Amino acid sequence: MSESSTSRPQAGQAAATSGEVVTLVVRHRIKAGHEAAYETWLRRTVSTAAQRPGHLGVDVMRGHEGGLHTFTSVLRYSSVDALQAWLDSAERRQLVSEAEAMLADGDQVEQHTHKEFWFTPTNDADNAPPPRWKQAVLTLLVILPHTLLVPMLWQPLFTLAPWLSGYFVATLLITLTIVLSVCYVCMPAATRLFAPWLQPTPEDDHVRQG
């Protein structure tokens, strides 16, 4: 949502092609006593960013680190160019300037391809991703209902329009529905819901090191 002049990521590092969905991940740790002012700033920033071309949505995750409130904002854009236009905009520069006094550690900004953020840690103090077995379990919990339900949801249309029920077309439609639902709705929601469980434990660290 914002980024410092010294840490602004380069658009070319975010994705191989301009057509790939990219995310801008912004992590802020708020100075004590500035929480209410930051919430007001955040709402205004989210509203401003949402008016930019190519903006696909934003998720905000709240937490605590070192006794201070933390906010991780994940903005999704339709292309690298759309993201770069927001990064270079006068509105963003003004918003960054307004927020500087409230931030304990300055602006923490990263770019990712959309799929990379599913299991990106939200805590700057712990850069370890969730254990692979937890990633696999959560992915299974999201994918399995889709594979069971999406074909059933498409079946009435396949019955009404037999030309859609061919193997290739039907598979394409079902797969596309699953991918869009998982990427844009279910997986982001699942990672937020299960965020505490996804955090690595000492036992997980021992297994990974072993």
Task: Report domain 11-119's class.
Answer: alpha beta
Is residue 29 exposed (0-12), middle (13-18) or buried (19+ Cβ within 10 Å)?
Answer: buried
pTM, two decimal places: 0.51
User: Which run of H or of E encompasses 144?
Assistant: helix 132-160
Q: Which of 131-140, 174-183, 200-209 has the lowest mean pLDDT?
A: 200-209
Domain map of the chain by residue range?
11-119, 132-209
| Res. 57 pLDDT band, cuts 50 70 90 | confident
Give the single-character DSSP code of 185: I
Beta bridge partners of 61: 72
